[in-house]
Structure 1
Amino acid sequence: MTSKELGRQLIHATFGLLFLLPLHMLGVYEFALLLLSGLIAGVSVSFALRRGLHVPIAKELVDAFERPDEMHIPGQGTLHFVTGLLLATIICPYTKVLDVTIIVLSVGDSASTIAGKAIGRIPIPYSSRKTVEGSLVGFTAAALASLAWTGDVVVSALAAGVGMLVESLPTPNDNVTIPVAVSVALGFWWGLL
């Protein structure tokens, strides 16, 4: 794993967990509006960068952390992350669901990537770019982080299991699919959907 990739994953985890602050400070509906506003602004910045305009700070962040295969849409990872959280918020607008969803997306997804690249040896049969070791570490990290937040072993294991199962699939972008799947699973578990 390169230092750039490690940096990307650490930013993914830290940036993601920071979303817990506005969720609790603003409330669910205001949080949804914040995500929508951020998504609109992000798409605008991405479009400007793609057109060759220099947007201070955004250009440097994209150059430093964007995956080479995602450069055709600058900031694609962040846009997908915010889109996934916005969809989860629309699907199941409850703080307790969104808390765990944010934790699984931030911690589990990052941990699975870091571990998969560092120690992964056994490819997942249906997704050759993912490894069993990465998924197991992602599950463990997401479950422990969720457990520390909720104190609920079953909910933490359920959310981490759903999140890492979806992360292991060969989907175009798990930053969208993980939060959607986790919010739906928890919504049904708690009888909110």
Structure 2
Amino acid sequence: MFTDNAFVGDLCATVITGAVASSVLRLWEETAKRGIFDQKVNRKLVHISFGLVFMLCWPMYSSGQQGALFAALIPGLNIIKMLLMGLGIWKDEATVKSMSRYGDYRELLKGPLYYVLTISLACTVYWRSSPITIAAVCNLCAGDGVADVIGRKFGSQKLPYNNNKSFAGSVAMFTAGFIASVGYMHYFSSFGYLEESWEMVFGFFVVSLASTIVESHPLSTVLDDNLTVPLATLLVGSFVF
């Protein structure tokens, strides 16, 4: 933002990103409080939007590790928030309702915590020049989030190896994760952070497919798909990119 002073530019970018992220979370807290959406749908709307909107703000930051660390402050603060609320130290009923499946504050120590940890890791370790970052965030946010929403609505036909997952949900996850990945590839490429190619598109195809298979496995139900999907994405992504 300020080419003459990268520190000031990154600081301003962090303030703006924090305001945007807070506005997104505040929106879904209000919808949860007013009961506009079903609680599970509201939770997934948080899941889908936060990481994707956060990535849209990355071009405001400087290149290099300093920009990545400043950007990581946003999910980093949310890690602290999840820990405090999950341990019952910080009370915030609206946040708990918007991010938990059953309204139990202890749920924040699982899925929501894994979620912000993944985004922080992708930001600090890989940053915006790596397709692994794009694949990790897009499959976690768009893929896994849309899968749950579509699966609940149209998932009458279950998978033969997991009655908790449906064909509709899995197709939705692959499609949303893949399309979002290609979209962000083009977005970051337009700023010169990476060079888009058909090989990269194929890599996103493979990673989204692997993430979908892992998400549909019964193990992801036992553990948490906010944990298994990012792990699968990072592992497969390290081979295909």
Return the letter of the residue paired with 2:154: I
TM value normalised by structure 1 = 0.79
1:167 equivalenced with 2:215 (yes/no)? yes
Q: Which ranges of structure 2 fall in alignment gaps of 5 or more residues?
A: 1-36, 187-199
**Per-residue deviation at 1:40?**
3.1
Distance of 2:145 and 2:74 partners within structure 1: 24
Secondary structure of the residue aligned to 1:129 is strand
Identity of aligned residues (%): 25
TM value normalised by structure 2 = 0.65
Provide closer, same or farther for how the CA distance between residues 78 and 149 of structure 1 changes in structure 2, counting only shifts above 3 A: same
1:158 equivalenced with 2:206 (yes/no)? yes
Distance of 1:169 and 1:37 partners within structure 2: 31
Q: How does 1:72-111 map to 2 (within 5 A)?
A: 73-76=106-109, 77-88=111-122, 93-95=126-128, 96=130, 97-111=132-146
Provide closer, same or farther for how the CA distance between residues 182 and 65 of structure 1 changes in structure 2, counting only shifts above 3 A: closer
Distance of 2:119 and 2:40 partners within structure 1: 22
Partners of 2:145 and 2:173 within 8 A in 1: yes
Partners of 2:51 and 2:119 within 8 A in 1: no
**Per-residue deviation at 1:104?**
1.2
Provide closer, same or farther for how the CA distance between residues 137 and 155 of structure 1 changes in structure 2, counting only shifts above 3 A: same
Secondary structure of the residue aligned to 2:106 is coil
- Which residue of structure 2 aligns with residue 13 of structure 1? 48
Q: How does 1:13-162 map to 2 (within 5 A)?
A: 13-21=48-56, 24=59, 25=61, 27-32=67-72, 35-49=75-89, 55=91, 58-68=92-102, 71=104, 73-76=106-109, 77-88=111-122, 93-95=126-128, 96=130, 97-151=132-186, 152-162=200-210
1:119-139 CA-partner distances (Å, limit 9, x unpaired): 112212222101111101111
Return the letter of the residue paired with 2:213: L
1:134-179 CA-partner distances (Å, limit 9, x unpaired): 1011111111111122254212212211221121122211111211
1:94-116 CA-partner distances (Å, limit 9, x unpaired): 53221221111100001111111
**Per-residue deviation at 1:28?**
3.6
Secondary structure of the residue aligned to 2:126 is coil
Aligned residues: 181
Partners of 2:39 and 2:101 within 8 A in 1: no
**Per-residue deviation at 1:20?**
1.3
Two-structure CA RMSD over aligned residues (Å): 2.6
Higher relative contact order (CA 8 A, sep 6+): 1
Distance of 2:99 and 2:117 partners within structure 1: 19
Distance of 1:87 and 1:127 partners within structure 2: 30
